[in-house]
Chain A
């Protein structure tokens, strides 16, 4: 975890990766929900 006592916490790459990840996060979660329901036989 980055130290919080620096003004610049994120690199540009980290921000770009975070944006891409966050925009796809719900799709990932939906896939997880479907897998979990399949495991439970729902």
Chain B
């Protein structure tokens, strides 16, 4: 699958540079550089799914920049304009902002004009009190939509009973 920075840049408030088929970079007015993209999932193995990632590699704490949200929205829209798109995400817990990140995915989904064409399954996986926020977003016209959601639900439901996950020190 290849996404197009050209499409994203038609509406993006920041100029997006394409680093690879599904990897982008952009710099904000505050001088923060973000990398955002997708990588084919190798773990859940339920079909062609992609993990979504975004990082501020400078680790600079920023004031809320709505234009970053807009750029990410355009990247996600470009992804879901492709056929049979399935996205997984897991909210990075290393800085204790995972719940905020989880809410951002919901916010993006609710603000997406065509969200009725997608299903968002957001979950909290409880590993003995350590909560991991994760989710799947899938196009409703995906030929295996129901099966993939069922597989994700099974994984999420059984994960806490299979192994324990503890936060890194």
CA distance A2 to B167 in the complex (A): 31
Q: For this complex, into which size category does the number of interface residues on chain A fall?
A: 20 to 34
What residue in chain A is nearest B39 (Cβ atoms)? A29
CA distance A16 to B79 in the complex (A): 29
State whether B42 touches A33 (Cβ < 8 A).
no
State whether A36 touches B147 (Cβ < 8 A).
no
**Looking at the complex, which one of A10, A26, A36, A37 makes contact with B155 (CB distance below 8 Å)?**
A10
**Looking at the complex, which one of B19, B46, B90, B162 makes contact with A2 (CB distance below 8 Å)?**
B46
CA distance A33 to B51 in the complex (A): 14
**Looking at the complex, which one of A1, A16, A25, A28 makes contact with B47 (CB distance below 8 Å)?**
A1
Q: How many residues of B contact A (CB 8 A)?
A: 35
Min CB distance A8 to B, Å, is: 8
CA distance A2 to B45 in the complex (A): 8
Min CB distance B90 to A, Å, is: 5
Chain A interface helix/strand/loop/mixed = helix
CA distance A40 to B20 in the complex (A): 10
Q: Does B82 contact A (CB under 8 A)?
A: no
State whether A4 touches B92 (Cβ < 8 A).
no
Q: Does B44 contact A (CB under 8 A)?
A: yes
16 contacts between A and B (CB under 8 A): A2-B45, A4-B147, A9-B154, A10-B151, A15-B155, A16-B162, A17-B43, A18-B43, A18-B159, A19-B163, A22-B88, A26-B53, A28-B39, A30-B53, A30-B55, A32-B23
A contact residues vs B (CB 8 Å cutoff): 1-2, 4, 8-10, 12, 14-23, 25-26, 28-30, 32-33, 36-37, 40, 42
